[in-house]
């Protein structure tokens, strides 16, 4: 197959060329290599240079290409200590577990780190991810097991250099030497029955029950069954993808882990949101398909308004000009989704050196036109799904740029820290905020005047919270939570200040008092303060500097989006674990700032001050 492109590829390649030159001047070998690999990936085998669509209607301006390249460059942090920059990272769990770094980490856990991790006889450790900095510091993300059974909540990151243990990042779940008796009282069949009965909807797939050790939400390690389920929820088009953990002693459901992480902050060639933009496509014979060979073969499909994806239909076109900038052509929404995935891929690769969601070079499938009157977009653990909206936004598809960046980031989080979502203290809000943060940075990375970067989530979705209202509202406002749209949240805005004791697990269910879309506000404001400081954006006359703080601190000086993105990415991939709470997020971002700029740096002090401003101390 010959790769066919419109001008997005031209813009990205131009950006890469500029970044490569910059990297050489900065002696940044890692960035140079990443840019070169990205450039190589824009060609197939020994194929000729990609052809460019010549339709004047589909051709973005040279100025737009230049803005795109400049916006990407602006988000690369060049001020951090060179030794703290990443030199190598594993591309799969299998590769990670075979590395010498993983063996060294296991040796440290068995000796000098044994007390810190409460090592018990028959505990085991398998590496899921290995990252090595230029100065030789090794960060090994480990999954714990006991007697060969996975320990849910026992994950950790081992940090070492020159064979010496520096620290271990872990949650509070395994602060004990106790281990459960591994003789179940309840049968596997009964556990499957309990899981199926707990699901509110029609069960489509129910996997066999498998024994695990459950250690989350403050529980002592407990023998449990894990039952994975897929189905159709009642009165909700969002796909049901759950893991149920059933106590093997009495059949009680300990946790229902919801794997679908929806935008609810929802939200390119003739696009709905970005004007005429270029997209990378693939051709076979005389037709083109919305498949991107330059980004792992990612594909955009039409879900045909079903509430499932297995009947997804490939988009096809004969002239490689897609959509009509209106919803009357189903391909218009697909253009935005396809471009959004590409922009998110490029942001992570060029800015952070990450090659796809799992860092394995593999693309993802995106399904547009999902469900009927579905005002949402989501990452379901495997795919991206986008609804067509409902009456509150004129049935306008939720394929905005920050939505794509938000949802793909849920995938990055799932491949790294695996932050819990519903029914786990704090971590769901932190998970949601991480997606808001990087969705925002993706929006800034494109530099498109039709959807300029800002700190609003879902601001272009045509959402009108009251029928008949002509005023459109964003779903979340990262710098002032009181401005959030509240119609879909029962009148509730997201939280700005962290409460004493944190957000309790019992109230963090979907649409609960501490739903993750509400508790995300704490980290959103902290990130804004780190990046921009105590400054109210233009065109928000009703917001004062005092509104940006919970402790009266109105003098935070931000250090910019590039540094803020570098700190949060390092914290997510190297210091957050599945049960990280907000105090743990403070500690993780402070450690990331110390790694990158020094423990006595202005950046470190700014991170600390921003967290204190939202009452995370």
Q: Number of structural domains, the chain?
A: 3
Rg (CA), the chain: 24
Query: Which structure tokens are listed for 420?
Result: 């819990």
Residue 280 inside a domain? The answer is no
Q: In terms of domains, do 90 and 122 share one?
A: yes
3-class DSSP state of 354: coil
User: Are 479 and 607 within one domain?
Assistant: yes
Catalytic residue among 407, 432, 459, 603: 407
Is residue 517 annotated as part of the catalytic site, yes or no?
yes
Does 474 map to a domain?
Answer: yes
> What is the band of 422 on the pLDDT scale with cuts at 50, 70, 90?
confident
Report pLDDT digits (tens) over 306-364: 999 999 999 988 888 899 999 999 999 999 999 999 999 999 999 999 999 999 999 99
Same domain? 119 vs 245: no
Alpha carbons 439 and 453: distance in angstroms, whole number = 10
pLDDT value of residue 343: 94
Picking from 258, 286, 309, the residue at the C-terminal end of a domain is: 258
Q: Are residues 193 and 238 in the same domain?
A: yes
Q: Is residue 161 part of a domain?
A: yes
Q: Is residue 6 part of a domain?
A: no
Question: With bands split at pLDDT 50, 70 and 90, how would you rate the model's confidence at 421?
Answer: confident
| pLDDT, average across residues 550-568 | 98
Mean pLDDT calculated for residue range 6-12: 35
Helix (H), strand (E) at residue 241: strand 239-247
Task: Please check whether residue 333 lies inside any domain of the structure.
Answer: no
Enumerate residues 6+ apart whose C-beta is below 8 A from 352. Answer: 565, 566, 569
* Catalytic one of 259, 369, 406, 517: 517
Residues 113 and 198 reside in one and the same domain: no
Q: How far is CA 324 from the centre of its chain?
A: 30
pLDDT at 36: 38
The token pair that represents 355 in the structure block: 């090659």
pLDDT tier for residue 9 given thresholds of 50, 70 and 90:
very low
Q: For 434-464, what is each residue's pLDDT tens digit?
A: 999 999 999 999 999 889 999 999 888 887 6
- Domain-embedded: residue 183: no
* Angle of the 582-597 helix axis to the 427-446 helix axis, nearest 10: 40
Residue 406 domain flag? no
139 assigned to active site: no
Same domain, 161 and 192: no
In terms of DSSP H, where are the helices of 185-282? 188-198
**Residue 35, domain member (yes or no):** no
Q: Taking each helix axis from N to C terminus, what angle separates 427-446 and 330-352, rounded to the nearest 10 degrees?
A: 100
Question: Is the sign of the CA dihedral 507, 511, 517, 518 positive or negative?
Answer: negative
Classify each residue of 517-539 as buried b or exposed e, where b means 16 or more C-beta atoms within 10 Å of its C-beta: bbbbbbbbbbbbbbbbbbebeee
**Do 585 and 480 reside in the same domain of the chain?**
yes
What's the pLDDT tens digit per position in 480-493? 988 886 655 566 78
Say what the alpha-carbon torsion angle 576, 509, 443, 533 is, to the nearest 10 degrees: -70
CA 86 – CA 83 distance, rounded (Å): 8
Q: What is the mean pLDDT of the chain?
A: 86
The CATH number of residue 93's host domain is 3.10.450.490
DSSP secondary structure string for all residues of 309-324: STT-EE-EESSS----
User: SS3 of 18, please?
Assistant: helix
- Same-domain check for residues 459 and 607: yes
The Cα 145–Cα 122 span in angstroms is 8
Predicted confidence band of residue 95 (pLDDT cuts 50, 70, 90): very high
Q: Are residues 494 and 564 in the same domain?
A: yes
Orientation angle between helical segments 29-41 and 7-25, nearest 10 degrees: 160
| 254 and 159 assigned to the same domain | no
Position 3 pLDDT exceeds 60: no
Kindly report the CATH number assigned to the domain that includes residue 519: 1.10.390.10
Per the listing, tokens 């290599």 go with: 33
Residues 141 and 195 placed together within one structural domain of the fold: no
182-192 pLDDT, tens digit each: 999 999 999 99
> Which residue segment(s) compose the domain that 118 sits in?
83-170
Domain boundary among 232, 258, 284: 258
Domain boundary among 258, 284, 308: 258
Q: Is 229 within 8 Å of 207 (Cβ atoms)?
A: yes
- Assess whether 118 and 226 both reside in one domain: no
Nearest 5°: the CA angle 192, 427, 376 is 75
pTM as predicted = 0.81
Question: Mean pLDDT, to the nearest integer, of 586-593?
Answer: 98
Specify burial of residue 40 (Cβ count, 10 A radius: 0-12, 13-18, 19+): exposed
In sequence order, the 6+-apart residues with CB closer than 8 A to the CB of 473 are 459, 463, 464, 465, 485
């Amino acid at each position: 197959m010959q790769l066919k492109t419109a001008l997005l590829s031209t813009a990205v390649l131009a950006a890469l060329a500029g970044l490569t030159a910059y990297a050489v001047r900065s002696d940044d070998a890692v960035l140079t290599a990443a840019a070169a690999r990205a450039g190589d990936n824009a060609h197939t085998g020994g194929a000729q240079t990609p052809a460019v669509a010549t339709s004047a209607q589909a051709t973005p301006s040279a100025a737009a290409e230049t803005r795109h390249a400049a916006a990407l460059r602006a988000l690369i942090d060049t001020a951090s200590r060179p030794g703290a920059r990443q030199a190598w990272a594993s591309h799969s769990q299998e590769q990670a577990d075979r590395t010498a770094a993983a063996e060294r980490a296991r040796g440290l856990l068995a000796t000098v780190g044994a007390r810190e991790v409460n090592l018990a006889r028959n505990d085991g450790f398998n590496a899921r991810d290995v990252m090595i900095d230029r100065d030789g510091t090794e960060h090994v993300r480990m999954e714990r097991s006991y007697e060969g059974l996975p320990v849910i909540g026992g994950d950790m990151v081992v940090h070492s250099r020159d064979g010496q243990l520096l620290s271990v990042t872990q949650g509070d779940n395994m602060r004990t030497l106790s281990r459960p008796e591994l003789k179940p009282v309840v049968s596997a069949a009964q556990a499957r029955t309990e899981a199926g009965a707990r699901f509110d909807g029609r069960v489509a797939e129910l996997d066999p029950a498998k024994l695990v050790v459950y250690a989350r939400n403050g529980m002592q390690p407990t023998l449990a069954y894990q039952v994975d389920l897929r189905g159709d929820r009642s009165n909700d088009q969002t796909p049901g993808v759950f893991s149920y953990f059933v106590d093997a002693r009495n059949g009680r459901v300990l946790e229902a882990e919801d794997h679908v992480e929806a935008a609810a902050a929802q939200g390119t060639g003739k696009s709905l949101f970005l004007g005429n933009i270029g997209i990378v496509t693939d051709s076979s014979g005389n037709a083109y398909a919305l498949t991107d060979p330059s980004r792992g073969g990612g594909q955009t499909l039409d879900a045909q308004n079903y509430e499932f994806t297995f009947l997804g239909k490939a988009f096809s076109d004969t002239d490689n000009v897609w959509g009509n900038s209106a919803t009357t052509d189903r391909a218009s929404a697909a253009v935005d989704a396809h471009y959004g995935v590409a922009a998110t891929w490029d942001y992570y690769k060029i800015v952070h050196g990450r090659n796809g969601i799992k860092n394995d070079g593999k693309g993802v499938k995106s399904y547009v036109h999902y469900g009927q009157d579905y005002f949402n977009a989501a990452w379901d653990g495997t795919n991206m799904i986008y609804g067509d909206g409902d009456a509150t936004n004129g049935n306008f598809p939720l394929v905005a740029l920050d939505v794509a960046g938000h949802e793909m980031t849920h995938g990055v989080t799932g491949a790294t820290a695996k932050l819990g979502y519903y029914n786990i203290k704090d971590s769901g809000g932190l998970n949601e905020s991480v997606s808001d943060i990087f969705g925002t940075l993706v929006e800034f990375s494109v530099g498109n005047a039709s959807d300029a970067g800002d700190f609003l989530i879902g601001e272009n979705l045509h959402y009108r919270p009251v029928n008949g209202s002509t005023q459109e509202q964003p779903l979340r406002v990262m710098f002032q939570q009181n401005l959030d749209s509240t119609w879909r949240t029962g009148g509730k805005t997201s939280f700005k200040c962290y409460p004493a004791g944190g957000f309790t697990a019992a109230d963090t269910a979907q649409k609960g008092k501490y739903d993750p879309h509400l508790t995300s506000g704490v980290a959103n404001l902290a990130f804004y303060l780190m990046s921009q400081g105590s400054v109210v954006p233009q065109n928000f006359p009703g917001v004062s500097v005092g509104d940006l703080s919970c402790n009266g601190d109105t003098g935070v000086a931000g250090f910019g989006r590039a540094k803020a993105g570098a700190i949060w990415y390092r914290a997510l991939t190297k210091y957050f674990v599945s049960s990280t709470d907000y105090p743990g997020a403070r500690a993780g971002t402070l450690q990331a700032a110390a790694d990158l700029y020094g423990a006595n740096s202005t950046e470190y002090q700014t991170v600390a001050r921003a967290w204190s401003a939202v009452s995370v101390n």
